[in-house]
Structure 1
Amino acid sequence: MVDTQDHCLVLLIDDDPMVAEALRLMVEGEDDLRMHYCSDASTALDVAEQLKPTVILLDMVMPDIDGLTLLRYLRVNEATQSVPVVALSMKDDAKLKADIFSAGGNDYLIKLPESIELLARIRYHSQCYIRLLQRDEAFRALDISQRKLAASNIKLQQLASMDGLTGIPNRRTFQETIDTEWERATRDSDPLSLIMMDIDFFKKCNDHYGHQHGDEVLRRVAKALAGCLKRPADMVARYGGEEFAVLLPGTDLDGAANVGEQLRSTVEALQLENAKSQVCEWVTISLGVASCIPALGDIETEQLIKRADEALYEAKEQGRNRVIKAPESAEGNSASS
């Protein structure tokens, strides 16, 4: 990026060396100005790309390529399209001026101008261009910063919403989701089902095989549970310890029990060792299922969770590795087929 307190860099494109020398002498001695001279219009575009001037003084009458044509080339070139161009001409021609401005020129000077006028125009256009570069660079830096911040915020939100060990939603996210789905089910008079489940004899498994094995069991079970859910609205979360919760919007009690049986058989089919289990040699789960059609003011989410928990307790009492449905209740318009 160009420093406004360093210099303004002038590129003079003119085939007349006498004019070039006269303009050079006007600039000479000005600490904030430097001039580069290009006499060949056919190479001027390449020179401008490499030099990166802050202003271009462009003669309108040159052999091979006239000034207007070169101006148009400058304006379609990405490296020079924004660089100010001051046209130089021997004539004070209104039509020529109009053509120059139409082609993208910024200013017009009759050769040879007074030194004070030339220097003032060079400084003015250079400083405007430098401020443009600074603004664009600041915007780019701001855009990069905002993108990084947005990415960091997304990552933080993901970390805050997911369980670090299993990679599935955590209890906080579960609670937010069930509240949202409760409102939707209340509005649409749809059923909402919940499955609460525990890994059977997980403490014995953990004590026998060690915590690393216990962590791997939790990860594998979580992955298997998530793989059983096919609808975008269905959700599995780690509720705490070895306990998981599955939320099934728009599903009645019998439908949720069928999903529960699929979850149970899928986990058992993993054949994860649990020699200390009193159910079988593999890791198994017990599940409690509850469902309702929420009636605003009649039942709260905590009651649905409590009923699913009670059904889970009953599944354990009946021998574990099974699915138990909560008893039907008029409370909250309990949903069943």
Structure 2
Amino acid sequence: MKKSIIILDDLEEQISFFRELITQSNHSFIDVNNESDLLDLVQLQDPDLILISSTITDLNCYLVCKKIKLLDKGKNIPIIIINRDDRYFNIEQNFDAGADDYINYPFIKREVIHRLNQQLLIKDLKDNLRETTNRLHKIIPHYQRLQEIVEKHHLTIQRNSHEGQLNLIPHRKYFEEMLQKEWLRASRQRTSFSDTEGTNISVILAKINDFQSYKKNHEKEIIDSCLRIITEDVKDTAKRAGDLVAEFDQDTFAVLLPSTDAMGAERVAQVIGEHIMALQIPHHFSSISEYITFSFGLATGIPTQAIHSSTLIDVAQDCLQRAIASRKANAIVMDQF
């Protein structure tokens, strides 16, 4: 990976040596001959490494080093002092000022390259460690919150199980069979009795946003507990006789709403979204929200024997894909025919 290296020096011979060496290593090279320009570049460009000559005219290299380390953007940048003349170099002062290494003259190319690469490698390791630490500081409160939710709902689920009230939701095949039955029943009602009142059928597909990244970054026990909590919550939303909540895919729920128009289906989806947001199940690895959210695809149809019930699912899936593409929490896209 290409790195940015700055040298503070006023000796052209020395600058040329480092320029050639650094550019041959496919890194970018900038030379400056005064303190002010160097400090400005540190703030603007956030370089990966700084070289400072100990013999630069009218400048104390150790004082410059200290000033760089006092900057927010400079404190983590490695600094190497170039020692061309022992009269202007002191090892103790070198490290007391915050410098990370030094290079002695006459220069040996292999040694110089090694010292530069070592400091660049150390900086990469430190940067990665800081990034990981910062990420953990953000994640830990989320895990604590998730554990609280899991423990709370585990007690509720366990109690309900003892009472015989807890059942797994049906699978996709059963959902499709029940949709077909409701579709045929409503179409016969329309044909036999010319009764169109309440014959609309709606389907909601609710997909958990960024669930693959959730699975990738959590243990199976947490994933299963999270799904169980969400399942219980979605089931509680559709309670009318004839309503059905099923598993469409592992991260997608299907809700069958007989005798429900588009406005009614939209309201059910909104309630599901509100409930899931109220749970505040942490999802640090989602780019949409810090909590678990859904994308909703809604389809409402007027049953007729000329159209197969699977068309309703196809329309809902198309709407779901558009909702997912919006990258918004609890986005709803709906269509009807």
TM class, shorter-length: 0.3 to 0.5
Name the larger-Rg structure: 1
Length-normalised TM-score, structure 1: 0.47
